[in-house]
Amino acid sequence: MNTQSLESKILSTEEFKTLWSKTYNDTGKPDWSHIFPFYDDSIVFQDSIQKIEGIVPFKAMCNRLAKRCKSLKMDIYTIVKNENIIMMEWKMTMSFRFFPKKPIYGASKMVFNEEGKIINQRDYYDLWGDIYDGIPIYRRIYRWFMRVFFG
């Protein structure tokens, strides 16, 4: 299959942003049901804390997150498409039960297969850094630790 016909099967950046933006909202639970059809049955999802293989465990992970969150909103800043890859930069603001809303900044890389479905998704973010930045004592300790040992 040539690259041009593969690209035509993959969502445009405008379609992608529209669909993914409907997933999250300022109030209430997120809903991924409208984007699940764009994922391959053998999706491999990985982020800072987990690696999930298969559509059934992927849907279960999304549903667990929706159940835990009081609110979840995603602002998509940049989307770039190159052949069978879409990259996006985002800010996710979430609140859990009794905790205030907290932003997490990150990026996602989606790789599409020959059918135009997402076969691999890798989310990149600094979960602990973004969380600890909101807690004065932990922020200083965490940033000191990261600077001394990794920077």
Structural domain range at position 77: 3-126
Is pLDDT of 2 > 60? no
> Does residue 43 or residue 148 have the better pLDDT?
43
pLDDT category at 103 given cuts 50, 70, 90 is confident
Residue 83, domain member (yes or no): yes
Residue 120, domain member (yes or no): yes
Spatial CA neighbour of 109 closest among 50, 36, 19, 47: 47
Is pLDDT of 109 > 80? yes
Residue 27, domain member (yes or no): yes
Give the global pTM: 0.80
Q: Please give the C-alpha separations between residue 119 and each of 37, 47, 95, in angstroms, as whole numbers.
A: 12, 15, 29
Number of domains in the chain: 1
Residue 137, domain member (yes or no): no
Residue-wise pLDDT for 44-83, tens only, equals 999 988 999 999 999 999 888 878 777 778 889 999 999 9
Residue 131, domain member (yes or no): no
